[in-house]
Amino acid sequence: MMPFCVVKEETRQILRLEGAVTIRHARELAAVLGEELEDGAPLEVDTAALQDVDTSILQLLYALRKTVPAISFPDPSDAFLAALDRCGLRRELPMARGES
């Protein structure tokens, strides 16, 4: 089972990341995003259950900013925020709750 999935709702799509999502998942995640994301629909990235993420996945999420009209990261996990800080990307990826 992959530690990620895309859930489509009426007005948005949700990318759920759980457990550890690392470089060994990057190719499969990129393929899923390319196939399953709908053009023009906002994307919410759910990292609440994420325990570990590496730079390759953060780069992939950063690149998504250019392909989806709106991307948000509500209720980010501590592990996700720590990874953003390590890579200096917290200002680049919009958080919920007004974090930056």
The whole-number average pLDDT for the span 18-26 is 97
pLDDT exceeds 70 at position 95: no
Q: Name the residue ranges covered by the structural domains of the chain.
A: 4-87
Q: Give 39-68 pLDDT, tens digit per residue.
A: 888 999 999 999 999 999 999 999 988 888
- Name the pTM for this structure: 0.89
- At residue 40, the pLDDT reads 82
Domain boundaries 4-87, corresponding CATH code: 3.30.750.24
The whole-angstrom separation of Cα 49 and Cα 88 is 22
Strands (E), 1-100: 4-8, 13-17, 19-21, 43-46, 50-53, 71-72
